[in-house]
Structure 1
């Protein structure tokens, strides 16, 4: 059952997870540490943090892995305060935190903008808990400071590290440069990152996107040409949605679905309603040197919008729409999801490459901090 639960977690398949949970209850399997912890992870990765916490609270015994899994679940869903509250409960219960616990905590602080809490935890780790920071802890701290716009502090932290730097450190720093449009710092980080890992196309795309945001189209072309020479291809963006126990996959501009005409009509109708309510498509999210009309067409056909439109026509009114994307959700689609959740009175749960976004009544759980 642990193996099956882990498979459901990887898929993010909520319907199948519920069936597996029902089977476990029917067989009266006890929620021991191993199975309970796996189920916490399963529900967290399927988008139901409340179900994960329910499993956690029902467990008769918990070890440091169980506590860390639940703390990590809160972090993955952007609930930093809840992660910190659970950490205090963990300490009060007498469980000693380990390196994984602190990675989960620092990640949670990073994705909730809790900079001071993260800095305090990082300083207390070796002193109070005997956990020496490794490269993953430093990566979380660079991400924490970088997201908050404190790039100079993040760079000083990297330069002061006493452990060997890896590509994760520079990737986190480069991501912060993208958020805050710091092109000069991005050049430096990219040079070091590409020297460590030359064959990862994601790094080239990230740098290319930074240049595109800055309007440096010649530099974009250079990066694309370098990728071509090194035979590297951009990872295509896909979005998945499960309806009636069938998983449907959508790519950008995908019209292969049997109901593609209905999907397009729904999307056009939605867009018109949202534009009447003040929605303005963010063409800055289209990182191509093309005119505005083409950019609007590209935005209209983003894979997450197609999946949501399909969810609206294929599922009963009032039911949540759950989608999974293999890349980071773009700014325009993030705004679109907020407005759709308000207009249709549907909860929309998006699992992207970094975290979960829960859209409800026009508000996202991330607080627009992601």
Structure 2
């Protein structure tokens, strides 16, 4: 498609037609054009799951807002994710990683890295950041997994959303009575719009653990499969940030976050997209665009290509990208330093990958050492 028809007509799961974008330049242009809306309630928005036949259960979250609402809502919370604030979290994240590696190394071999490290580390970090009791992690992980699986039936999806919604309303009520030093308590002190804060908490809770967890697993597999790259970052941890950027580009696990719907007729890349038509930005394909990246299918940690769109682009660029980068750097540096003989306990091509999920990853990752 990228070579022959970079903006292509596609059929969506509900039978409607939309457009798929495959070129890096076209997607970046689209993501900065206000004539494309992020509003998932728009009937033309290209959902890849069965559309709910009921009123929305949440007010629009940041990911689904357009101007003028989006700017003030994002500014209200963006200060929680600055580089400086993230740096202050580094010692605690290091402590969490070390604790989980201690437990893994003391346990039986092989171990499932997803359960031992990939999932608990970002889950615990986002819980502490938001002020969500980590004791509840199985509750929200189980429900978020259902929501991210494209094959989950609509009724089951709706139940999971309702249960998470009720949980977050109860949590906010507790924080109103006894505020803590956490993101939700601070937001509650600024404004008491519970619907908006539930929507924000829902987005951050799911996005904050699921994406980073999958990148930890996929990154571990890839570095073990590329021993020359692993040797470079082992010898010089200053190279790890470059390796993280390349892993983010290489997998682009949350590409469907960049879907949009045209709210006016727009000509893009020589193609007329009509008002009301959905547009799916295939970020993984765009991040393998030879016009933007030389030898795009090679894994090259010396590439230094920070213009990838794994975190999106424009006004909706991922709020938690500084946190995700730091977590990945700490995990990879610590894991390969402390477990130098780490290896896959099952061939990479036999692992259960998340082919059915909205966020790509692996369901389990048996490792030994």
| TM-score class, shorter | under 0.3
More helix by share: 1
Q: Bigger radius of gyration, 1 or 2?
A: 1
Task: Normalising by structure 2, report the TM-score.
Answer: 0.25
Tell me which of the two structures has the higher relative contact order, counting C-alpha pairs closer than 8 angstroms and 6 or more residues apart: 2
